[in-house]
Amino acid sequence: MARVALVTGGTRGIGAAISKALKAAGYKVAASYAGNDAAAEKFKAETGIPVYKWDVSSFDACVAGVKKVEADLGPVDVLVNNAGITKDTAFHKMTLEQWNAVINTNLGSLFNMTRQVIEGMRARKFGRVINISSVNGQKGQFGQVNYSAAKAGDIGFTKALALENAKGGITVNVICPGYINTEMVQAVPKDVLDKNILPQIPVNRLGEPEEIARSVVFLAAEDAGFITGSTLTVNGGQYHA
């Protein structure tokens, strides 16, 4: 029986690449998304991967969403917590809404989603939880106190949950991408990219979403059971934790 993988934010950018790579590796994949119906329908038509719409910052929405996925595909064996947002501004100008939205979506969602599947994983003695953090959760970033705090929290969440479940056949790991060639990065003006971002990256290029996806497939594998509580940095040499 193919194992079931659920990818949050799984229809665009890094998440779409992860969903496709897991399907190619033989998993039954479900991709959740928050709001872009057109992109989700296009993704579904192109890949055949079922899509589910809910807000990962809402615990109740995650309860209902995961129940629907499991009713359709079966119990979730691999959870990829990829969904995330940015609301960048200098901290002295940041609003409570900008803080809460990013913390709730980028960190709170790890509780909301993982809580739905962890008991089943423990009962079945198998599970893979893979959290997508960021280089900016490791080193900080100007204008991203909310984002960096949430992404750093993802790393702490990973380490503690890994310890709690290590004896039960469940691994919990986190990937910290650097600058990846997605819509979000493509929106950065070219002169800023060329002058400020690429010079920070020793390999002198952006990463590709597929490079993050390959890392997820590696950590999700049956034979990756001795890797848990780890932080995998995929950033072209930009930063070493």
Is there a contact between 54 and 32 (Cβ–Cβ < 8 Å)?
yes
The answer to whether the beta carbons of residues 36 and 11 sit under 8 Å apart is yes
The packing angle between helices 59-73 and 109-124, to 10°, is: 40
CA distance 237 to 72: 41
- Which candidate in 27, 33, 52, 147 is catalytic? 147
- Catalytic site includes residue 27: no
Q: Which of 174, 176, 162, 164 is nearest to 226 (CA)?
A: 162
Catalytic machinery residues? 147
